[in-house]
Amino acid sequence: MTTAVQAKRRAILIFTLNRSGVLNKISMLIRRKMYNVETITACTTLQPSISRMTLTLREDSDQNMRQVVKQIEKMTEVISARELNINQSFWREVAIVKFQADETNLELLKDNHFFEILDRQEFDVYAVQIAGTSQMIDDFLQDIGERRVLEIARSGFTALEK
């Protein structure tokens, strides 16, 4: 049995004019180029007329990434676009996880992970928020155990240059 090797995760930081439809135009451009957007986050900046997007996808080819960035930069609403160097930026995501755990298991999780308890429901069901790298969140989920996770929502990546 062979396992598929995933391509390298890449992030593009995009600043745009804060106009309706810009996010759709960028995602359509990426789709037309046959890339699968892994995550996309968007927010306004300190200047309300400007939006900031972090777009992640998987791609091994540096040439293909340069081409995608160039095409995004050509859009009239785009102020700037560039690929982020993973070693020169912070990449984070947030997850909200609902899972079952008794007090002992919860204490073990607290010893190994930093999370905020949002709610405790009947039958030892907890809703928690955890933020960090995708590996931190993956490790947390693994420590909970697949059978005890009831629901999960992950935000997708946001990134900031160092």
The answer on pLDDT for 6 being more than 80 is no
Give mean pLDDT, residues 14-38. Answer: 88
The per-residue pLDDT for range 116-130, each reduced to its tens digit, is: 999 999 889 999 999
pLDDT confidence of residue 86: 84
Amino acid at 26: I
Largest Cα separation within the chain, whole Å, is 56
Q: Name the 3-class secondary structure at 26.
A: helix
- Report the C-alpha gap between 146 and 137 in whole angstroms: 13
pLDDT confidence of residue 38: 85
Q: How many domains does the chain have?
A: 2
Question: Looking at the structure, do residues 115 and 156 belong to the same domain, yes or no?
Answer: yes
Query: By residue range, what is the domain housing residue 37?
Result: 9-84
Question: Looking at the structure, do residues 51 and 18 belong to the same domain, yes or no?
Answer: yes
Which tokens hold the place of 26? 């960028």
The per-residue pLDDT for range 82-113, each reduced to its tens digit, is: 999 888 999 999 999 999 999 999 999 999 99
User: CA quadruple 74, 32, 87, 61: dihedral positive or negative?
Assistant: negative
- The CATH number of residue 44's host domain is 3.30.70.260
The answer on pLDDT for 144 being more than 90 is yes
Q: Which residue has the higher pLDDT, 4 or 46?
A: 46
Task: Single out the residue of 161, 162, 159, 129 nearest to residue 55, CA to CA.
Answer: 159
- Report the C-alpha gap between 19 and 84 in whole angstroms: 24
- Report the C-alpha gap between 82 and 10 in whole angstroms: 11
Q: Model pTM? A: 0.80
Position 14 in a domain:
yes
- Report the C-alpha gap between 38 and 36 in whole angstroms: 6
Contacts with 150 (C-beta within 8 Å, 6 or more apart), sequence order: 98, 99, 100, 125
Which tokens hold the place of 30? 């990426």
Position 104 in a domain:
yes
- The CATH number of residue 122's host domain is 3.30.70.1150
Position 105 in a domain:
yes
